[in-house]
Structure 1
Amino acid sequence: MSADILQRISTLTLSVKQLSRFPHLSDLFPSFLPSPCPTVTASQVPALFREPYILSGYRPIQQDWRCYLLSLFQLHNESLNVWTHLLAAPVLLLLWWANVGALGYTLDVASVPLALFMVSSLTYLSLSVAAHLLQSHSERAHYFVFFLDYVGVAVYQYGCSLGHYFYSSEQAWRESIGMLFLPGAAFFGWLSCAGCCFAKAKYRRPYPVQRKIFQLIPTSLAYVLDISPIAHRLLTISWMQEASLPFHALQIGSFILAAFFFSCPMPERFFPGRCDFVGQGHQVFHLFLSLCTVFQLEALFLDYARRRDMVVDVFGERQLRWACVSFPALFMCCILTALIFMRHMNKELQHVGKNK
């Protein structure tokens, strides 16, 4: 074989190797940006950051903050938790725009509960994205972003109650619960935030059953109350009469599935290490919760379009304006609650640091 042919074969082999080389993560970012470190195993991060049956895909702690922001484009065990809620936000905005065009929307006192529901949905989605994206930086960051995540959950619960009460409730249901519904929804919303913050601050891994009790009982009570006007309609009105009822049924079904996967680490319990990146129960929980919100927005828009001319006459402007005030008031109460728990955790972490 001639030297020329050997040289060509050598050159071709080198070219194929260069073309087949998959770029490292660092190749995707400009040189002036820090590149997120490769993921590590559970044994290489503190116990606080470990999830049951998830054995790898963890981001190292104490990186530059920008590394965690840029890890949005890195494959790790929180990637789908981030993207399921990150993509849900533009889906909701597109659905809002489509319904505004198809069903109409006028920014007036009668439309305020629908707008607040949309704000609450975007709030919980945004805070959830921030929590799962940034929590690996440090123990303080972990507690702070998840306390804010619980604020988003409480705000979303109350946003749902406003939409259900003003657009989806029947007179017979209102006569049985009356003026107690919204104050009760606000209280249980705050209790959900406080209960989740307490459970997060109180218990350490391996988590005892009591932690789930403090998380699930307040959120379950809030959901039972918030969904009661919808359950009443589904049980008393033919689904063929109103177009919104199938969407309400879908939102309830999606929420029940979301609650199941939130409560049980499945399927990773049966396949430890095989669901580290895709297939975790929490990822499935995020997916069903996002679907629940999408179905909910569609149902509320249909109810709003059908009843918007009657809202002021039925409830009065005073009650609608009270909703405008109660929503930010609840938000501020939940923020204050989260900050109180964060102050407690700062003292505890400082004490632990001094004893090391």
Structure 2
Amino acid sequence: MCRLCTRAEAPAWAVHNPYVENGYRVTGGFRGAIRSVLMWHNETANIWSHLLGLTVFALLTTSMATGWGNAHAPALPASWIMGEEGESWDGAGGEALRATIASLASTLDAASSEEAVLLHYEPAPRWPMYVFLAGACLCLSFSGICHTLACVSAQVSSIVWRIDYVGIVTLIMASFYPVVYYSFMCVPALRTFYLVGISLFGFVVLSVMLLERFQAPKYTPFRAVLFSGLGAFGIFPLLHQTLFTWRIVPTPMVVTFWLEILMGMCYLGGAFIYARAVPERWNPGRFDVWGGTLCSHNLFHVLVVAGAYVHYRAALVLIAWRDHHRCDADATLLRTFYLDNGWLGGRHHVPWIPHGEL
């Protein structure tokens, strides 16, 4: 069983926050570390905040995979601007567009007609959402493993903290996939550019973060800046979509924009709290109680889970929109630059409808 000691008694490799004075686990070995999950110490809250978060996201993944999540996707208000000349799907413009599509589709051969049916009734691909959910589960599970086993030895601590960084970077990269994919679903060049860009940026950040010289506690602010910089990359596709892509911005994109702002506030707020060791730096030792519940690292954990859930809700809005409005929304609401220069494309392109007729 792990014994608990003060910061002065703990070995240097076990201390990652100079403002946490008590509750350090040492010399417990793997078995003692695992048993300590049910003990009170300064990592209890860090372990359980992400184990509970993992449970939530595992249930969300199961829900999506079994169809329950699809059947209970958010119902978008009919008054929202989602396509068809800036009117809702239930509006008169939407009826006219459906009649036009039906008339034109009837002139196609059987194969083309089948593709036209899939255009409006085949659900949007779910794989980008699964990428995000898998990234969230991986991050939360790696975090739980890290905070459980970091007390075993100096070597194990060095390894599991790197695993924790891998999980965080994976979550940040995976978070981009559903929002970028569904936003730019019918503009494949931009979709690919942003997804490849964030993936490459993420691998660069991870390569730097895994270097031995940046493992010391004094580099905590530096690591927080790297995490924040990687996450801040998301402002580019978000602003691109909201300000420079649409002639009339679809309401789901506006809602997603504000949800993503809220998510960013959670992530950046958590990173700031983590980097500045707030609030324990103001009163060292005072916030070690209750398993470190009020320490900066656990507050960071809680905000990460909250931000990830907000992001999940934003992605659900986009999925519900794309399920019922594939590229008809892009064909009617995109700026003419994208339509006139062949940016609208991909599997869901509607080549038989000149955009000027919509």
* TM-score bracket relative to the smaller structure: 0.5 to 0.7
Task: Name the TM-score, length of structure 2 as normaliser.
Answer: 0.67
Residue 103 of structure 1 aligns with an amino acid whose one-letter code is: A
Indicate whether 1:52 and 2:60 are aligned.
Answer: no
Point out the structure with the larger helix share. Answer: 1
Pair 113,171 (structure 1): closer, same or farther in 2 beyond 3 Å: closer
| 2:213 aligned to which of 199, 202, 211 | 202
User: Where does the alignment leave 5 or more consecutive residues of structure 1 unmatched?
Assistant: 1-35, 319-356
Could you tell me how far apart the structure 2 residues matched to 1:206 and 1:150 are?
A: 14
Counterpart of 1:212 (choices 214, 221, 243) is 221
Task: Name the CA shift for 1:113/1:107 in 2 (closer, same or farther; >3 Å).
Answer: farther
Q: Distance in 1 between matches of 2:123 and 2:198?
A: 23
Per-residue CA shift, 1:295-344, capped at 9, x if unaligned? 111110111121146379966369xxxxxxxxxxxxxxxxxxxxxxxxxx
Q: Secondary structure at the match of 2:151?
A: coil
The answer to which of 296-305 and 232-241 deviates more is 232-241
Over 3 Å counting, the alpha-carbon distance change for 1:168 and 1:263 in structure 2 is farther
What are the ranges of 5 or more consecutive residues in structure 2 without an aligned counterpart? Answer: 75-120, 331-343, 349-358
Identity %: 24
Maintained 8 Å contact 1:169/1:229: no
Q: With CA pairs under 8 Å and 6+ residues apart, which has the higher RCO, 1 or 2? A: 2
**Do residues 254 (structure 1) and 224 (structure 2) align?**
no
1: distance between equivalents of 2:314 and 2:201?
23
Structure 1 pair 249/238, CA: closer, same or farther in 2 (3 Å)?
Answer: farther
Residue in structure 2 matched with residue 189 of structure 1 by the alignment: 202
Question: How big is the alpha-carbon RMSD for the aligned residues of Structure 1 and Structure 2?
Answer: 3.2
Residue type of the alignment partner of 2:346: G
> Paired residue for 1:13?
none
User: CA 1:263–1:311 in structure 2 vs 1: closer, same or farther (change >3 Å)?
Assistant: farther
**1:245: Cα distance to partner?**
4.2
SS of structure 2 residue aligned to 1:167: helix
How far apart are the structure 2 equivalents of 1:89 and 1:186?
A: 23
Whole-angstrom CA distance in 2 between matches of 1:148 and 1:206: 16
Aligned counterpart for 1:131 among listed residues 146, 151, 164: 146
Cα distance change on mapping 1:119 and 1:170 into 2, 3 Å? closer
Q: Does 1:221 align with 2:229?
A: yes
| In structure 2, distance between residues paired with 1:205 and 1:120 | 26
SS at 1:43's partner residue? coil
| CA distance in 2: counterparts of 1:121 and 1:262, whole angstroms | 19
The structure 1 residue matched to 2:165, chosen from 145, 150, 159, is: 150
Q: TM-score, normalised by structure 1?
A: 0.68
Kindly tell me the number of residue pairs found equivalent between the two proteins: 274
Determine the C-alpha separation between the residues in 2 that align with 1:239 and 1:109.
18
Measured against aligned partners, the alpha-carbon deviations of 1:198-238 in whole angstroms (never above 9, x if no partner) come to: 2xx21575626xx633x245433321223432344566758
